[in-house]
Amino acid sequence: MNTCEFCRLSDEVSRALADNRPVVALESTIIAHGMPYPQNIETALQVEQAVRDQGAVPATIAVLGGKPIVGLTAEEIDYLGRRGRQVSKVSRRDLPLIVAARADGATTVAGTMIIAALAGIPVFATGGIGGVHRGGEKTFDISADLTELARTSVAVVCAGAKSVLDLPLTLEYLETQGVPVIGYQTDELPAFYTRSSGLNLGCRAETPEQLAEIIACKWRLGLSGGIVIANPVPEQYSLDPDLINRAIDSALAEAAAAGVAGKELTPFLLARIKDITAGQSLTANIQLVLNNARLAARVSAALADLDGRK
């Protein structure tokens, strides 16, 4: 299918891609489901500005009226932020259903990766990827983000997997699927709200240029699929591990008692953790997303430079 017929690219994104200038894909689930109003809209616009400040073009992605949009306007971001959870979450399974119904949808990590790849955008910044849920060895509750990383060739800059998940099993699943997980200036997998998890990655990069070389080599070798760039939350915003673990345990117990599961589980947990930590988790979430956006812009620029030297 012709990408231009399937998606609507903003003029700014189209021009940047045509000129081989750096572009960073951004998701929209964080706007509609990941943060409360009005911080969701404020953060989305701040993230776009963080990308611009590093010399790249932001491309926030969503589905509106059944059309995948690559490069939302400020008005469209405001619309998604105000509608919040009235807007469907869109992963791989949901994408054809939402498009066929000409409905609105906020794209998850997986959904954003698919549309970014269609548009020709190789770098994507998010907060944290989904993963294997706690107890996943019994329930098989595994985020579609992980299988998407195995098949879609987009590099994802994140602060690790969300810490409400089973991080060791998530890392094992990614290894089984052949997805490289590279620590940016760290040897450990970040745990979203905190900088360390105790889980060694075995692969580390010190600069955006090193990351770009790894990404380019993977795809030039014909190894399709994504790469996880694990970028720890800035140290001054990293939460105390004991505090966040107590908050997670409490939120999980509340979710179980209320029967919350499936797509609603992660938004429920994030909201309760925010309340339990008196807003500290939301501050950390905002800062880590901004940090990831800045790094993604630099990686995208380094990739564009490699392409220009081919």
Q: What is the dihedral of CA 54, 56, 57, 62, to 10 degrees?
A: -80
pLDDT profile of the chain (310 residues), mean per 10 = 72 96 97 91 97 98 98 98 95 97 97 97 97 87 95 98 92 97 97 94 97 97 97 96 90 91 80 91 95 98 85
- DSSP one-letter code for 33: I
Q: What is the CATH number of the domain that holds 242?
A: 3.40.1790.10
Burial status of residue 45 (CB atoms within 10 A of its CB: 0-12, 13-18, 19 or more): middle
Set 27, 48, 76, 148: catalytic member: 27
> Residue 229 forms beta bridges with which residues?
157, 182
Tokens at 44, concatenated: 């989305």
CA distance 114 to 122: 11
Set 76, 89, 162, 274: catalytic member: 162
Structural domain boundaries, residue 138: 3-308
For 25, residues 6+ apart whose C-beta sits below 8 A from its C-beta are 59, 61, 70, 112, 113, 115, 116, 119, 121, 123, 124, 125, 154
Is the overall model pTM greater than 0.75, yes or no?
Answer: yes
Is 27 one of the catalytic residues?
yes
Tokens at 103, concatenated: 């409905």
For 248, residues 6+ apart whose C-beta sits below 8 A from its C-beta are 163, 164, 269, 273
3-state secondary structure of 160: coil
- What integer pLDDT is reported at residue 1 of this predicted model? 39
Q: How far is CA 232 from CA 6, 180, 238, 257, in A?
A: 35, 16, 9, 32
- What integer pLDDT is reported at residue 88 of this predicted model? 95
- SS3 of 265-276: the string is HHHHHHHHHHHH
Is 274 one of the catalytic residues?
no
CA distance 33 to 141: 19
- What integer pLDDT is reported at residue 264 of this predicted model? 80
Q: Into how many domains does the chain fold? A: 1
CA distance 223 to 208: 21
